[in-house]
Amino acid sequence: YKLPQDVIVHVDIDFAFYKPMDYLFDAILYEKDTPIGQAARKTLQLERPGDALPDKIGAFLTRDWPQVVPGKWPAGYQAGFLVARRDPSVADEMIEVIKEGNYTEGWGYGYGWGNKGY
């Protein structure tokens, strides 16, 4: 999050690209009211299409559906794919969470970092 580029892309080594992802970058880089920003937002394939997008998109990620226990929600963040807006404050926030040391071992809500389920 502290690199000089405006958009950061992280993928695992076993990730394969089959289609261009320009619309993801455009949705992050361009304001929602610009022609490019509007076109990019219309192209997005969302997990919950009825949900409103934020005015300023910070990141796109994938969820780890194979790791979900049947009947449990939500699926966790799958670290193999992340497209994010550069925001140095995010790195600072992550460091503060780790320094606080509030980690509860276990699975699900009420466990993990800050007892938030992750």
Q: What is the pLDDT along the chain (118 residues), one digit of tens a residue?
A: 667 888 988 888 888 889 899 999 999 999 999 999 999 999 998 888 889 999 999 998 887 777 777 776 667 667 778 888 988 888 788 788 788 888 888 877 778 877 776 6
Q: What pLDDT is recorded for position 53?
A: 93
Model's pTM, two decimal places? 0.71
Are residues 80 and 14 in contact, defined by beta-carbon separation less than 8 angstroms?
A: yes
Q: What pLDDT is recorded for position 1?
A: 60
Q: What pLDDT is recorded for position 31?
A: 95
Classified as helix, coil or strand, 80 is: strand
Q: What pLDDT is recorded for position 74?
A: 67
